[in-house]
Chain A
Amino acid sequence: MKIKLKITLLISIFTFLVAGNSLGIAGDLDPFLSVKGTLRIAGGTAHIPVMKEAAKRIMYMNRDIKITIAGGGSGVGIKQAGEGLVDIGNTGRKATDDEIKRYGLKMFKFAIDGIAVVVNPENPVASMKKTEIMDIFSGKLDNWKALGWKDRATNVYTRDASSGTRKVFWKKALKKGEITKTANFVKSHGAMKSAISVDPYGIGYISVGYLDNTVAPVSLDGISPTLENVRKGNYNIARGLYMNTKGEPSGLTRLFIDYILSKEGQKLVTEKGFIAVKQ
């Protein structure tokens, strides 16, 4: 008797969830109902939370659509999209003129993202000058004592050659200055976050969308890297997030891009901690 009740309860909860979900997302997802196929996405790692959630919603709607999402960095995104290995290549920077010409890329900007300097939550240094950031990353300032903390070396973390985040951070925060040779290299946003969260003396940089309580953001010249400040333009270490396709997109690729740029897609962008390009 009890088991029967449980089963009925489970079934009713399940129906409720399914019904509720499909009711909630009716509209911008409708075009996906009548198509089937595979969509491959790779590249920038800042994009992954938005891409994953969008893919989940689409695949939940229509079981005939398969969407795969891989990281690799902006360089990988451009290369794989350009060579037709994936349908959409994500980048956290604009494609260079050379890359656009060589591959015939089309760019779709779908969000704006800030890049925050982060330290371990144990680190009490919550604010720095921009010149101090440059000195830390170039290796000139190599001890936390100079910033009013323990007598321990600063451990600089940076990203690999493929990273768009690194290119933007290097240009806008470091003013194209040198990065110290002792810097540790990590391969994705996730890896950067876990490296900083276990290293009390570490300092790195990360997309604002990835910020949570495992790392502590640092204010630069008194301006904290919040979404609000990025939107208003007060915090200027920011960049667009792009989806790139080889030539004009069509079919499922087109639908996916349209969905990300739709009202619901842009709401998703905001929910994941980025700034929507269309309000």
Chain B
Amino acid sequence: MRPFIEKCAEKGLLLSALLSASITIFILSFMLLFSLPLFREGKIVEFLRLGWNPYDGKFGVLPMVVGTVIIASFAIFIATPFGIGCSALISVFSQRSFGRFLRKLVEFMTGIPTVIYSFVAIFLLVPLVREIFQEGTGMCVLSASIILALLVLPTIVLFLTDAFNSVPKNYLNAAEALGATPVQKLIYVIIPSAWKGIISGLVLAAGRAAGDTMISLMIAGNALQIPRGLSGAARTLTSHIALIIASDYESPEFKSIFVCGLILFVFTMLIVLILRLLGYFEILRER
């Protein structure tokens, strides 16, 4: 017979787990329920078209989808080399205590609010980018991607250091016994055996980059176009929702929010799916 208090704790934990799981399901069903009329009337096609022009009756959210994909993937492109470099420094190259200090610093970075990043970027990065390109406002894909890269860097670094640290010690010892330098150890032993952790980190970071609102809202420019280059302004799905949310409930503008939300949700689910698949392959390999 277990003590009563332990039973209570178990029930309490079960309850909180059920609650948080049901909230996720509730949100998904809410999104589906509200975008159902769009599917039923066949209007969904209209929202997935190219071009947003309320004066002309066009409400296609495709420019925002493209904007999101470009900004998020470019952010990951910038963050990846820095992420790998940082984690290699933390878990391979530096002294233990210094590595731990660096890791604490990166953990601290996760706590910086995104609005602070964007606020500082408006005054420091945006004018610089504007003068480099000699065109546009400086509020563009490049600026947003750089700051988003800064935002997702901690996610990548924390994942990668964990992955690097979980490489079996005897592999490393074997490499060392063969006379491998730290760089050779990193390239030939650590990265190949930690690839799953690296991919997980990058995919999660991509999810964060696509889901962040404040940075793209404040420094991507929010223009209703598909950006022509890195100096072009773009609007992401998240900032589109933030910009439109105040409009009339009955308007097609407002309805497009649900389409955007659904797209973001599907994107997140894809990310979870990719991570699960990675785990599945890992199990296969072990057999």
A-to-B contact residues, CB < 8 Å = 72-73, 75-76, 79, 99, 152-153, 155, 157, 160-162, 176, 178, 181-187, 194-195, 198-199, 201-202
Contact = CB atoms under 8 A, between A and B. Distances in A.
B248 interface: yes
Contacts of A194: 122
Nearest to B133: A153
A155 B243 contact: no
A181 B223 contact: yes
**Centre residue among A75, A99, A185, A194 by max chain B CB count within 10 A:** A185
Contacts of B135: 152-153
Interface in B88-144: 122-123, 126-127, 130, 134-139
Contacts of B55: 176, 178
A99 B248 CA distance: 9
A79 B249 contact: yes
Main secondary structure of the interface of B (DSSP, over half): loop
A198 B127 contact: yes
Contact of A184 (B127, B134, B137, B248): B137
Contact of A185 (B54, B123, B223, B249): B223
Interface in B209-243: 217, 221-225, 232-233, 235, 242-243
Contact of A187 (B134, B235, B243, B253): B243
Interface residues of B, number: 31
Contacts of B247: 75, 161-162
A76 B130 CA distance: 33
A161 B137 contact: no
Nearest to B52: A181
A160 B223 contact: no
A182 to B, nearest CB: 5
Contacts, number: 68
A79 B246 contact: yes
Nearest to B135: A153
Contacts of B126: 198
A43 B253 CA distance: 19
Given A155-B137, A198-B127, 18 more contacts: A72-B246, A75-B248, A79-B249, A153-B136, A161-B54, A161-B247, A178-B53, A178-B55, A181-B225, A182-B225, A182-B232, A184-B137, A185-B221, A187-B217, A187-B242, A195-B137, A195-B139, A199-B130
A153 B130 CA distance: 11
Nearest to B251: A161
B33 interface: no
A152 B135 CA distance: 7
B28 interface: no
A142 B31 CA distance: 40
A160 B244 CA distance: 7
A75 B242 CA distance: 13
Nearest to B51: A181
7 contacts: A75-B247, A176-B55, A184-B222, A185-B221, A186-B222, A187-B217, A187-B242
